[in-house]
Amino acid sequence: MGRVTNALHRLGTGAEIGFRGPYGNSFPLNRLQGKSLVFVGGGIGLAPLRSLIWNVLDNRDRYKNIDIIYGARSPADLCFRYDLDAWGKDKTINMVTTVDKGDENWTGREGFVPQVLEQVAPSASNAVAIVCGPPIMIRFTFPVLEKLGFAPEQMITTLEKRMKCGIGKCGRCNIGNLYVCRDGPVFTYAQIKDFISSEY
Ligand code: FES
C-alpha cells in the first residue's frame, strides 16, 4: 500500500529490519481495577480495545460489571467475529452488538453506537468507559456518556492520528497542545474535551 510495505516486499529471506518503539502511553490498568467497565467500540476501533478486553476477562474477578457495546456500518464490517461470539457466550458480561444497517440475514440490533449506548444505559457508578472507533462515533459517544452521568475523568479513549516522527518532534499528530504519539494515544475525555469537537 505504501513505501514501508513496498520496501518490506522487496526484502529477501534473511534480511534485517529495525524497529523503534513502542512509544506513548497505555491503558491505565491500575486505575481500572475494582471498577465496572463499559467498552464502546466502532468498526476497526475494536482492535485496540480487544486486547484490553481479553486482559480484563483473564482477570475477571478484579472488575465489577462489564458491558461491551460494539457496532459497525454493516454485518460484513463487524471485526473479530470470533471474539464477538466468545464474549456473547460469556455470562459474566453484557455484550451488545449493533449495525447501522442490517442485511437480509441480520437478526440482531440496528442503530448507531451512541444511540444504542443510550438505550443500554450502563450505570456510571464506580465505572469507567473506554471508547474507540471512528472520530464521528467518538464525538457523539461522549455526550451520551455525560448524559448517563459519567464525569470526563471516567471516560477514556485511544486516538488515532496521522503520525510522522512518532517521538514528539514533528508536531504532526497534535490535538490541541497534546501530541498523540508522545502524550497518548490513551487520553481521558477531561484531557481532550476542549479540542475534540474542532480537531477530531
Ligand atoms: S508524530 Fe511527530 S510529534 Fe507526533
More confident: 53 or 198: 53
- The residue length of the chain stands at 200
Cβ of 161 closer than 6 Å to ligand 1, yes or no, is no
Give percent above pLDDT 90 in the chain: 78
- Is the shortest distance between the CB of 173 and ligand 1 below 6 Å? yes
Spatial strand order in the sheet of 94-99: 109-110, 94-99, 66-72, 36-42, 127-132, 155-158, 186-188
Query: Over the stretch 131-150, which tens digit does the pLDDT of each residue have?
Result: 999 989 999 999 999 999 99
What is the average per-residue pLDDT within 86-90? 96
The Cα–Cα gap between 110 and 98 comes to 5
> Which of 182, 183, 199 has most ligand 1 atoms within 8 Å of CB, for mutation?
182
Angle between helices 135-147 and 113-120 (to 10 degrees): 20
What is residue 19's predicted lDDT score, i.e. its pLDDT? 86
Dihedral of alpha carbons 59, 137, 141, 67, sign = negative
pLDDT digits 0-9 by tens, 113-128? 999 999 999 999 999 9
Mean pLDDT of 21-37: 93
For residue 13, give the 3-state DSSP assignment: coil
Confidence (pLDDT) at 70: 98
pTM of the entire structure? 0.89
For ligand 1, atom 3, which residue shows the shortest CA distance? 168
pLDDT tens, position by position, 153-169: 999 999 888 888 888 99
DSSP 3-state percent helix, strand, coil across the chain (nearest 5)? 40, 20, 40
